[in-house]
Amino acid sequence: MNNPPKKPHILFLFSDTGGGHRAACEAILEALKLEFGESVTTEMVDFLKDYAPPPYNHLPEFYPEMVRVPELWGVGFHISDGRRQARLMTSTLWPIVRRAARRLVREHLSDMLVSVHPLANSFLLKALGKNRPPFITVVTDMVSTHALWFDQRADLILVPTEIARQRAIEYTMLPEKVRVVGQPVSESCSAPPGDKIILRDGLNWPQDKKIVLLIGGGEGMGPLAETARAIDKSGLDVGLVIVTGRNARLKAQLQAETWENQTFLYGFTHDMPCFMRAADVLVSKAGPGTIAEALNAALPIILYAKLPGQEDGNVSFVEHVGAGIWAPEPLQVVRTLTRWVCRPGERDRVVENCRRAARPQAARTIARILGEQVGL
């Protein structure tokens, strides 16, 4: 009897520095399952936590602390960004990470590797050597993409926006290796906006008020508390939904406060697609995942914070497509919110712009490209 043909196995390289890399990775895995069912097997490896030598293996834990001083993070980003700097960084760190990178490759044999993290590319490509399976990078930053995303040895680079494609080419990637696919988000975040009344019923949110959803990324970052308080004290009659993500300290702090408006406080939630479809305005840090999900939910965006460097371009992208406003001061947030709540026509125009800018098919498109590469 013939053995059944071996299923292709795809290895995904990610790390939990922020919530976005894991979210993008899981979205692609989900899309692969929907497109190809059981004909492909997949595996996710947190290459920093599980393989990098100390202290680099603690980066996922330290990340929320590191980005708590955004200005410092921004300086680090800009100093290290550029072809020459990226090469220097890779060659300096290579002797330190070489053994770990080679062990990862040995322990996780695959028919294709997919990186969704800028730090995985050069080290893993170097560890893999010449006779290797295809290596594909899925860039999860929208516009201000760091040079470490782009290694000429990669077989394909999938990027979220045309600007990111231009940047890849500036960083000497061959144009034919770079494709614009959009930002991958989960199937539930790609679905069309649903019925707000039903959704709010399920969540016990009021039907008779505009709902403002506040999120600081997966880690509850930026001046989320100050911004929420300013909205609450503004005299606007709105419902406040505050999501603190994994920032338990912030949740406890906000829970102890008294709120004038009806306020709903959540820690890390898996109901984000539902929240976005039930809300009227998003007030958020400029994380790429959150922005892409909001566009799919046709939810106007006020950006109250960004990580200097990698999230700068996200802000200009949102403003350029007319899907939202950059409002770094709580008072500016309140001003925009007041306009959108009091003049529905203005908010409706932004809703339309969100719809136009959305790329809900991104994860499915990526899955189909990966499928092609492994012969499915």
Q: Would you say 126 or 167 has its CB closer to ligand UDP?
A: 167
Distances, alpha carbon 337 to alpha carbons 125, 213, 224, 234, 243, in Å: 47, 11, 15, 10, 18
In the complex with ligand UDP, which residue's Cβ is closer, 40 or 323?
Answer: 323
Tokens of 319: 């403003």
**Residue with Cβ nearer ligand UDP (36 or 268):** 268
Q: How far is the CB of 268 from ligand UDP (least distance, A)?
A: 4
User: Between 156 and 303, whose beta carbon lies closer to ligand UDP?
Assistant: 303
Cα–Cα distance, 96 to 102 (Å, whole number): 12
26 or 35: CB nearest ligand UDP? 26
CB of 76 to ligand UDP, least distance (A): 16
Max Cα-Cα span within the chain = 76
360 neighbors 27 (Cβ within 8 angstroms):
no
Contacts of 226 (CB under 8 A, 6+ apart): 330
Residue 222 or 330 having the CB closest to ligand UDP? 222
Least distance in angstroms from the C-beta of 220 to ligand UDP: 8
Query: How far is Cα 75 from Cα 142, in angstroms, rounded to an integer?
Result: 19
CB 42 within 8 A of CB 9: yes
What's the min distance (Å) between Cβ of 221 and ligand UDP? Answer: 7
Separation between Cα atoms, residue 327 and residue 168, nearest integer Å: 29
Beta strands in the chain (DSSP E): 9-14, 41-46, 112-115, 135-138, 156-159, 178-180, 210-215, 238-243, 263-266, 281-285, 301-305, 324-326
Task: Give the Cα separation of 315 and 130 in Å (integer).
Answer: 39
340 and 332 Cβ atoms separated by less than 8 Å? no
The tokens 């505009």 sit on which residue?
210
* Token pair 């400029």: residue: 286
Least distance to ligand UDP, CB of residue 42, Å: 19
Point out the residue whose Cβ comes nearest to ligand UDP.
287
CB of 191 to ligand UDP, least distance (A): 14
> Smallest gap, in angstroms, from Cβ of residue 288 to ligand UDP?
5
Q: Which is nearer to ligand UDP, 245 or 371 (CB)?
A: 245
- Interacting residues toward ligand UDP by CB under 6 A: 18-20, 23, 215, 217-219, 243, 245, 268-269, 272, 287-290, 293
Shortest Å, Cβ 148 to ligand UDP: 16
Nearer Cβ to ligand UDP (144/290): 290
Minimum separation from the CB atom of position 174 to ligand UDP (A):
28
Say if CB 307 and CB 74 are below 8 A apart: yes
Which DSSP category does 19 fall into? S
Q: What is the DSSP letter of 148?
A: G
**For residues 111 and 271, which CB has a smaller minimum distance to ligand UDP in the complex?**
271
